[in-house]
Amino acid sequence: MTIPVNAVLTVAFYAAELNLRDGGFLKNNLTVLSERGFYFGLVVLVVGVLVGWKIKDFVYRCFLLLGITLFNQACLISLLASAVPFKLK
């Protein structure tokens, strides 16, 4: 279940990036940190899915994937909250 959620988060992240680039928003340090955190979260998700099958306990595997999903959601929310709109005169 976490794989489709992260796929939707990735599409939302891509749409947010397009809006930031073309919609007149300024990126600050928190925005850049959020981007890097989201990319890191995707890499950890892939590693977690590949290595997670070796974890025998289902509960620990679910906690790992859910924790990574919550981290990606937090990065996406901080990306959207940190964007500063601006206008050129």
The full set of domain ranges for the chain reads 2-84
Question: What pLDDT score was predicted for residue 27?
Answer: 80
pLDDT of the residue at 62? 87
How does residue 89 score in pLDDT terms, banded at 50, 70 and 90? low
- pLDDT of res. 70: 92
Q: Work out the average pLDDT over 41-67.
A: 86
* pTM of the predicted protein model: 0.82
What distance in Å separates the CA atoms of residue 3 and residue 49, rounded to the nearest whole number? 9
> pLDDT value at position 88?
60
